[in-house]
Chains A and B, each alone.
Chain A
Amino acid sequence: MISEQAVVVHAEGLGKQYGASRVVDNVSLRVHRSSIFGLLGPNGAGKTTIVKMLTGLTRPTSGTIRIAGHRMTGAAVNAKRALGHVYSNMAFYRHLNAVENLRFFGGFYRLGAGRLAERIADTLEFVDLWQERKKRVGAYSSGMRQRLGIAKALLHDPAVLLFDEATNGLDIEGRDDICELMFELRVRGKTSLVTSHRLDEIELLCDEIGILDKGKLIEQGSPSEIQGSLDGVLFKYVVRTDQPIDVEDVPGIASVRFLGQRNVVLSGQPLRDVLGQRFGADSVEEVRPTFEEACLWILRHRPNPQ
C-alpha cells in the first residue's frame, strides 16, 4: 500500500473545455515519488493540455491539481516551485548564452547569487553542456537546446519534472541523450511525468502508464500490466508463408502485416486452429503481443468510457 505522501502529482477529475469542445474529460492521475509516469495517446488525445494544466499554463475547467502537496490554483507559487518543465522545441533567448539564460530564469527562484552559480555549473555539467556554456543559444542544435531545457528545469532542484514530448524533432542520438538523462534523474530520486507518442520510449522509461484517447484516460498501469490486461483478449500469430494473407480470407483477423517470409496476424479471438488448418500447424506460431501492439489494440478496440 502506497501512502498518500508518496503521491507527488495528484490530479482529480481534471477537465478542460474550449467552447463546445471538451479536450480533457474527467482525468484523474496519481504519480508516485521517484517514479516515471508516461502519458500515451494519439495526437489530440489531450496529453499536452494535461501537462499545461499541471504546469499552470492553462487553467482547468474542472478538477483539482496538487503538486508535492501544493494546490495549483491562482499564482500557485509553491506548486510551481516543485515543478520543472521540459517541452518540445525548448526556447530560450537566442542572443544570450547558456549561462546568461539560466541566470535569467534561475533569478526567479530566489536561490541567491552563489547558490545559483553553483546550480548552473552543476546542471550544465549534468546535461553535458559545460563546454558550450559561452556559446549563444541561437547557435545551439535542437538536441543541445533540449538538454539546456533540462538544465533549466533542474536549476531549482524540483521534486517533479514534466517532459512534454521532449524528444520530438530530435535525431536518434539526441533522443538517446534525453532518455539517458531521464533515467539518470530517476536514479537520483526525481519524479517524472513524460508524454510522448513514441511507444518504445515510453515502454523503456516508464514505471506506470496512462493511455489517453479523446481526452479520457482509458487505461492505466505498468507496461507489463497493460500487456497482461490483454491476455486472452488479443492474440498474435506468426504464420510462415511466402504469400500475404488477405484479412478477408480468414474470418476473425483484425490485422495482418506481411514481412516477406511471414505474416504477423492480430486477432481478438483464438485463431490457431483455423490458421493451422489453412497454412499447416507447423507454420503457425502463437507469440505474446508486444507492448506497442497492446497499446494500439487498446486505442483501436477498447470502448471509450462515456
Chain B
Amino acid sequence: MNQRLRVARLFFCRHLSSAHVLGLLCLLCAVVVMGTLAAHSDRTGFQRAYARHSDGEFVMPLAVPNGGTAHQIVWDTISYRQLHSSTALGGGLLPMRMVALWLAFLLPMVGLALSFNLVSGDIESGVMGSLLSLPISRRTLGLARLCGEGAALLLVLCLGLGGIALVSSNICRVGWSLEQLVRLAHFLVLVGLYTGIFYVLGAWISARTRSSAKALWIACLLVASLFLGSTAINHAVALRASDLGIPPRASSEVLRYLYRQRVAKGIVSSPDDLPESVSEYFENLSVYSQVLSERLGARYQRERWLAVISPAHLFLGMANQILQDHYPTATRVAYAPSRPLKPARLSTTWMSILPEFSWLVILLGAAVTAYARTLRQLEI
C-alpha cells in the first residue's frame, strides 16, 4: 500500500506540472466564471424588480406571454422563475446548476481528452519502455498512476469548479449558505466520479488500441454518441409531454394584461389588485403547478432507467437532485418567491439518488478492472 501511495504521489506531482492540467484548470475557471456572471446579470435584473416592492408581497411573473401556446407560457413561467428565484434570493447554487448542464458533456470530453493517450502516448513516445522496466508490478504502476493522475485531475476540478465558484460568487455577491456549501461539496464528489469514469475509460481504450490516433477516434465517437444519444432521448421524452396534463388556458384578456404589465414593467403590490380573470388564471395555474410537480416527480421516477443508458441524463439528474432537489420544489418556488427555500435534506437526496450513484460506482469499478487487466497483458 505504501509503495502504491509513493508511486501515486510521483505521478500526481508529475501530472500537476503538465500543460494539459493547467489548460483544463483555465477552461473550468472560464466556464464557472461565465456561469456566475450570467447568474449575476440575472440577479441584478431581478433585484431591480424586487426593489420596487416590500418583501413578502406578490411578485408578477416576468415571463413574456406572447406567442406560443398556454402550455409553453406555463413552462416558460415556471422554469424561468424556478431557475432564477434562488439567485434573486441570494442562492449560490444557481451558477452551478447552469454549469452542470454544460458539465454533463464537458466532463466526459475532459476525462477522455486527458486519458486517450495515457498508455498509447507513452508507448508511441517510448516512455512506456522506461516505465515498465521500473521495479514495480504493472498492477501497481497502472493503478497508482490512475490514482495519482486522477487525484491531480480531481484537485483541478475542485479548484476550477468549487474554488472559482466560491470566489466568483463572492465577487458577484451571490451568497452561499452552509447547506449550499455542503451540497456543493457533494456536487464535486459527483463531478469527480462522473469524470473519473470517462478518464479510466479513456485509459482503457488507450491501452487496448495502443495507438493515440485510434484512441482519439473512439473517444470522439463516444462523446458524439453521448451528445446525440442524449438529444435523441430528450426528443423522445418530449414527444410524450402530454402525460403532464393540460395547463389552464389563458384568455386573450389575461394575455393582454400580462403583456401590458410586462411592457410597463409593472409590479402589482398584492394579488387582490389583480383583475379577477387574471387572479383566476393564476389560481388555476397554481393548482396545475401542484399537479405538474407531482407528475414531474412521478415521471422522474419512471424515467430513471434512462440513467443506465445515458450518462448525461444520469449526471444531470443527480446534479439537479443534489444542487436543488429539483422536482419537488420546481413549481412551488415559482409561485412563492419570498418564501424561504427548504430543499430536501441531503440524506434524503442521497437516498433518492443511491441507485444512480451505485451505478456510477459499478461503472467506475468495471472500467478500472478492464484497464488493469489490459495493462497486465500489455507487451511493447
For window 97-111 of A, CB contacts with B under 8 Å fall at 100, 104-105, 107-110
The answer to the question of B126 belonging to the interface, with a C-beta cut-off of 8 Å to chain A, is yes
Please tell me if the beta carbons of B126 and A85 are within 8 angstroms of each other in the complex: no
Q: Nearest B residue to A16 by beta-carbon distance?
A: B379
A170 to B206, CA, bound (A): 31
Q: Nearest B residue to A58 by beta-carbon distance?
A: B379
The answer to the question of A96 belonging to the interface, with a C-beta cut-off of 8 Å to chain B, is yes
For window 59-114 of A, CB contacts with B under 8 Å fall at 59, 74-78, 80-81, 83, 85, 87, 89-96, 100, 104-105, 107-110
A152 to B135, CA, bound (A): 13
Please tell me if the beta carbons of A95 and B380 are within 8 angstroms of each other in the complex: no
Please tell me if the beta carbons of A74 and B137 are within 8 angstroms of each other in the complex: yes
Q: Interface stretch among A49-57, A187-195, A233-241, A282-290?
A: A49-57
Q: How many residues of B contact A (CB 8 A)?
A: 24
Please tell me if the beta carbons of B380 and A108 are within 8 angstroms of each other in the complex: no
A78 to B135, CA, bound (A): 7
Please tell me if the beta carbons of A55 and B136 are within 8 angstroms of each other in the complex: no
Please tell me if the beta carbons of A96 and B14 are within 8 angstroms of each other in the complex: yes
The answer to the question of B347 belonging to the interface, with a C-beta cut-off of 8 Å to chain A, is no
* Range for the number of chain A residues in contact with chain B: 20 to 34
Please tell me if the beta carbons of A56 and B132 are within 8 angstroms of each other in the complex: yes
Please tell me if the beta carbons of B6 and A77 are within 8 angstroms of each other in the complex: no
User: Assuming the A-B contacts A52-B380, A59-B379, A95-B19, are A105 and B130 also in contact, with contact meaning beta carbons closer than 8 angstroms in the complex?
Assistant: yes
User: Assuming the A-B contacts A58-B380, A96-B14, A96-B17, are A91 and B127 also in contact, with contact meaning beta carbons closer than 8 angstroms in the complex?
Assistant: yes
A81 to B135, CA, bound (A): 6
One digit per residue, 1 when the CB lies within 8 angstroms of any chain A CB and 0 when it does not, for chain B 116-140 equals 0000000001110110111111111
With a cutoff of 8 Å between Cβ atoms, the chain A residues found around residue B136 in the complex are 75, 77, 108
Contact of A57 among B10, B19, B137, B380 (CB under 8 A): B380
One digit per residue, 1 when the CB lies within 8 angstroms of any chain A CB and 0 when it does not, for chain B 231-267 equals 0000000000000000000000000000000000000
Which of B17, B18, B125, B379 has the most chain A CB atoms closer than 10 A to its own CB? B379
Beyond A75-B138, A104-B14, 18 additional pairs, beta carbon < 8 A: A56-B132, A57-B132, A57-B380, A58-B379, A59-B379, A75-B136, A80-B134, A85-B129, A87-B126, A87-B129, A90-B130, A92-B130, A95-B17, A100-B17, A104-B10, A105-B130, A108-B134, A110-B6
- A-B contacts, 16 listed (Cβ < 8 Å): A57-B129, A57-B133, A58-B380, A75-B138, A77-B137, A83-B133, A85-B129, A87-B126, A91-B125, A91-B129, A91-B130, A96-B14, A96-B17, A107-B7, A108-B136, A152-B130
Chain A residues in contact with chain B, CB under 8 A?
Answer: 52, 55-59, 74-78, 80-81, 83, 85, 87, 89-96, 100, 104-105, 107-110, 152
Chain B residues in contact with chain A, CB under 8 A?
Answer: 6-7, 10, 13-14, 17-19, 125-127, 129-130, 132-140, 379-380
